[in-house]
Chains A and B, each alone.
Chain A
Amino acid sequence: MVTTKPTTVPDPARSQRMQRPPQINRGRVKGLLIHVGLITFGLVMLYPLLWMISSAFTPTELIFREPGLWPSQPTLENFRDGWTALRHPFHRYIFNSMVIVFGAVIGNLLACSMAAYAFARLNFRGRKWYFAIMLGTIMLPIHVVIVPQYILFAQLDWINTFYPLIVPKFLATDAFFIFLMVQFIRGLPKELDEAARIDGCNHWGIYWRVILPLSMPALATTAIFTFIWTWNDFFSQLIFLADPDLATVPLALRLFVDSTGSTSWGPLFAMSVVALGPIFGFFLAGQRYLVRGIATTGIK
């Protein structure tokens, strides 16, 4: 649009106002608008979560009257009521969840890394076939195997125990993590293995003393996502744990909704916040790591 050369313009004030400042401003205004847009959108997205947290601290009778985020009469009553609303105090359900989660994390770390070591480093007959089969199981919907698994665990008398939720992890059934670790281990220099072998290490030694310590990023990703997925898991816990004494956090929340109906929103919000607590914690502690993990691996 600018056709006249700036030097020939006789009126400096005019040129300043009409040409240079608008350009600076346009850049700034644009950047500002983008930020305003991004912040507004972020707030709209997070608003339900913030509302939940604020409602957890609001007396039940006020929750649906105040759409604002700052409770006018903040209280811890909801946490006290919610904690004891079910047959057991809520820490019992947290404990149940923790047992399953830690079992699953240890199982996945051990079994998946072992299988990954074999696929990445060992030379054995049918490796390609087994690897292809392993890849094929990644996308398998759990619904296809859940009925026979239920029958199997029922015959082992494992229904209403934590075994169905932990033992399969020690058998490396989360093939996705095997794949993740195979990719990672392949990136480690093979010379390290050979050096360890010359120093007298067998395969177990190489795996335990060389590969595992170097695989920390992959192991951490596996641990974090196993934790979050198992903590959040509802479907298999619903199926294998019918006994309310064994209820995990998601099952307890569901019992809460069913048993209290519409009477105690406040405690329900409070316990939902408690249920999301560990994930919030992980998120705040390792958000960069989580985000990088998902960008490179494609997991949720």
Chain B
Amino acid sequence: MGRPAAAPPVPQPAASPPPTQPKTWRRDGRAALLFLGPWFVGLVAITAGPIFASLVLSFTDYSLLSSPSWIGLENYERMLNDPRLHSAMWVTLRYVVVSVPLQLALALALALVLDRGVRLLPLYRSIYYLPSLLGASVAIAILWRLVFGTEGLVNQVLTLPVISNVAGMLGIEPTGWVSHPDYALNTLIVLNVWTFGSPMVIFLAGLRQIPVMYYEAAAVDGASWLTRFGRITLPLLTPIIFFNLVLQMIGAFQTFTQAFIVSGGSGGPADSTLFYTLYLYQRGFGNFDMGYASAMAWVLLVIIGGFTAVNFLAAKYWVFYGDD
């Protein structure tokens, strides 16, 4: 398969001349079978096999009860005319495009503040990181539902004396945030932004990699904070920004638990929190429409792959790898 055409002569099985080379090869080969065996079984049965199977299933009509019947591109055609799917795509896209940049901007801003030799850094870092660890849990999704509920914490705060006046001037009134189609998605965006701690920690690690001598040289030249940030920090940090961007985007496209719990599994008021994965779950495991769910999964894979590819292509123009 991957063997080069003009490979050096393969060691003959019975040849004795270089005794060490073939012997270690053979021994390692057998050991590799032992050590890599479980992984290989998993790859075939749990990962690669199912990828291939879902591609095949996406061209079938299959409800688990009878055997799958081949229907060609019909599932994909159905996707073109499925308003709920389009709405799910739109919801997910808005969520990704709004929440990920906000999350990364907040992460970078706080990393910059914390990087300037603030005392108690480990304490702050841990406090800000905590939500990242909890964010995807059902308990937090439930908490969010209650915080943004009609009687929830947000509305309680909005009725406090001074805050209610300020909020009133800004046009913010207490309402059922998670039960209102215009706001429900925003509450989930807030939830994702709230988990900015993990990209922040990665930013902090990246900031520490920047050689101090650059800043010292800039200080000698009398560069302002803004200049130093724009000319040194930001360019040298672009690989980390890129890493975080790709990672958080891929994660955000797959958001499920929060949307499921906050909307009670339905997708929320007027499908306003019907995320792509939630709709996939409904089709596949609610209606046992396995063929359609498989087609949806492949489209998701293509979308995520597409966004990642665009990221990598665009990276050429803004990510700076300091090799000069």
Closest to A293 in B: B201
Question: A115 and B36 in contact (CB under 8 A), knowing A123-B24, A288-B122?
Answer: yes
Q: Scoring A residues 249 to 268 as 1 if CB is less than 8 Å from chain B, else 0, what string do you get?
A: 11001100110000001001
Chain B: interface secondary structure? Answer: helix
B97: Cβ under 8 A from any A Cβ: no
Q: Are B50 and A148 in contact (CB under 8 A)?
A: yes
Query: Residue of B at shortest CB range from A295?
Result: B205
Distance in angstroms between the alpha carbons of A243 and B132 in the assembled complex: 30
Interchain CB contact under 8 A, B205 and A172: no
Cβ-Cβ contact count across A and B, 8 Å cutoff: 263
What residues of A have a CB within 8 angstroms of the CB of B85 in the complex?
none
Question: Does the CB pair A139–B202 fall under 8 Å?
Answer: no
Contact of A235 among B124, B250, B257 (CB under 8 A): B257
- Chain A CB count within 10 A is highest, among B34, B130, B157, for B130
A115/B38 contact (C-beta < 8 A), A34-B113, A124-B32, A145-B47 known: yes
Residue B232 interfacial (CB < 8 Å):
no
Count, chain B residues at interface, CB 8 A: 96
A residues 271-286 in Cβ contact with B at 8 Å: 272-273, 275-276, 279, 283
Task: Mark A residues whose CB is within 8 Å of B.
Answer: 31, 34-35, 37-38, 41-42, 45-49, 51-52, 64, 67, 111, 114-115, 117-119, 122-130, 133-134, 137, 139-152, 154, 168, 170-173, 178, 202-204, 207, 228, 231-232, 234-235, 238-239, 249-250, 253-254, 257-258, 265, 268-269, 272-273, 275-276, 279, 283, 287-288, 290-291, 294-296, 298-300
Across the interface, A141 reaches (CB within 8 A) one of B143, B144, B253, namely B253
- Can you list, as one digit per residue, whether each of B19-36 has a CB less than 8 Å from chain A (1) or not (0)? 000001101110110111
Smallest CB separation, B241 vs chain A (Å): 13
* Minimal beta-carbon separation of B51 from chain A (angstroms): 6
Cα A127 to Cα B29 in complex, Å, equals: 10
Contact B64 A154 (CB under 8 A): yes
Which A residues are in CB contact (< 8 Å) with B156? 64, 67
CB-CB nearest 9 A-B residue pairs: A171-B42, A148-B50, A148-B53, A295-B205, A124-B32, A118-B35, A272-B139, A145-B50, A172-B39
Query: How far, in angstroms, from A14 to B250 measured CA to CA in the complex?
Result: 61
